[in-house]
Amino acid sequence: MSDTTRVKCTVYVGGLDNSVTKAVLHQAFVPFGEIIEVNIPSDDRASENHRGFGYVEFESQEDALAAIDNMDQALLAGRILNVAPAKPQKDVGNILGSKVAVWEQENWIRKYEVSEEDRAAAEQAKTEAMAKAVDPMQGLEGLDVAGPKPATE
């Protein structure tokens, strides 16, 4: 199953109570179709608590849509659920607000990197421009007098 198909079959479930486990979430969503996987991310600070949301991946997109239609705003363990289609996971290297400077991220480097051929062409153009040695003041003669020109009769 491709990543885009997998995302279309995955449902985000928000508003989970701390008492909800993978088994409870599985039992709540199994009436809507074959479930491939249930995932509840754990809290970084305490391993026994989760972050209050989870993901349920169904076998088909139709099953996922049925679960969204029937379980959004439903009650589970005394809490109202927010059920919606899951969004694709962000690419870690391109997160806005990342602590890594954009020019240090691999994708940015690959996109904007200058090839050796382009560097050589730029250096050659610079050398040719310097070889011409054009006086930068050329053509500015007569501009040393300020003000309006007197009318000639």
Strands (E), 15-142: 35-39, 53-58, 75-76, 79-80, 82-85
pLDDT by residue (tens digit) across 73-95?
Answer: 988 888 899 999 988 766 555 55
For residues 48 and 96, give the distance between their C-alpha atoms in angstroms, rounded to a whole number.
30
Question: In the chain, which stretches have pLDDT less than 70?
Answer: 1-7, 44-48, 89-99, 102-103, 133-134, 142, 144-147, 153
For residues 84 and 69, give the distance between their C-alpha atoms in angstroms, rounded to a whole number.
9
pTM above 0.85, yes or no: no
Predicted local distance difference test score (pLDDT) of residue 140: 73
Predicted local distance difference test score (pLDDT) of residue 35: 92
Predicted local distance difference test score (pLDDT) of residue 96: 56
Query: Alpha-carbon Rg of the chain, whole angstroms?
Result: 32
Predicted local distance difference test score (pLDDT) of residue 144: 67
Predicted local distance difference test score (pLDDT) of residue 50: 79
For residues 63 and 57, give the distance between their C-alpha atoms in angstroms, rounded to a whole number.
9
